[in-house]
Amino acid sequence: VNYEVSYSTNNFKDAHEITVTITGKNKFKGIVTRTYSINRKAVTVTADSKTKQFGEADSELTATVTGVVDSYEIAYTVTRAEGESNGTYPITVSGEKEQGNYTVSYESGTLTITAKSIEGEDSGLVVEKLADVTYNGQPQKQKPVVKDGEVGLVEGTDYTLGYSEDTTNVGTVTVKVIGQGNYSGTLETTYQITRAAVTVTAD
């Protein structure tokens, strides 16, 4: 009755500034204007953390968006730091800070690469059979060839070796292949120290 209100826009949803005009009527006169803003809503894009075993391919890098109240799709890119060895690597997500009606913040995740177990038939690890040796009075520590598929592994980097107590006298020697670095677990192989042939000749 005494005033009427008008707005500078019919869009009361999207982020922008709106001017309100109040115009007096009847016993009142004059015009008053006021402004207010619909601010962008804060949303967060968080990189999803991933885990894989050494030697496996990466799964798809993904992220989770929280805070969106409509069907608007936030645009972003997910990448990870380079590296394939046992350890952790940051997964980062990036994109524009302001998108549509939203102010976007980005949170990193982590890729964890675990050591590959050398145990079990499915591991792909092969320890080549060691040849037997003949007793010679000295310790005889045979070193096996260890492969992951067709790739030869390196002693001191990928594994260490452990031997049963007696590597000198006739008997069975057990060799333990102990994973380290990018590998974990233990495999065993054996070889024999056989008797030396001697001849006793009557004078």
Straight-line distance from the first to the last Cα atom of the chain, in angstroms, rounded to the nearest whole number: 143
List, for residues 94-148, the tens digit of each pLDDT value: 999 999 999 999 999 999 999 999 998 888 899 999 999 999 999 999 999 999 9
- CA dist 156 and 188 (Å) reads 17
| β partners of residue 147 | 126, 152
Q: Left, alpha or beta for 49 (phi > 0: left; psi -120 to 50: alpha)?
A: beta
At residue 121, the 3 state secondary structure works out as helix
List, for residues 31-78, the tens digit of each pLDDT value: 999 999 999 999 999 999 999 999 999 999 999 999 999 989 999 999
Nearest-CA neighbor of 132 among 92, 162, 97, 175? 175
| β partners of residue 52 | 113
pLDDT of residue 1: 78
Percentage above 90 pLDDT, the chain: 91
Q: At residue 86, what is the residue type?
A: N
pLDDT band at 12 (very low <50, low <70, confident <90, very high): confident
Q: Left, alpha or beta for 181 (phi > 0: left; psi -120 to 50: alpha)?
A: left
